[in-house]
Amino acid sequence: MYPSVLLALVVLLVVFLISFVVPRFADLYASTNAKLPAPTQILIAIGTSAQ
């Protein structure tokens, strides 16, 4: 029972981070015109599409 509850909480946390936190950082990075690494660009793309 405990591992499933822990897994569910982790999944909810990741969904929250990708849906709300990552898009806010995407706006910040877009305003600085910084060159981002590929994994960061992928994460931002996932976050903005999930929003």
The pLDDT score that the predictor gives to residue 14 is: 94
pLDDT digits (tens, 9 = 90+) for 1-51: 999 999 999 999 999 999 999 989 888 888 898 899 999 999 999 988 887
Domain ranges of the chain: 2-50
Stated pTM of the model: 0.71
Q: Using CB atoms within 10 A of its CB, is residue 27 exposed (0-12), middle (13-18) or buried (19+)?
A: exposed
Which residue in 26, 15, 16, 33 sits closest to 48, CA to CA? Answer: 26
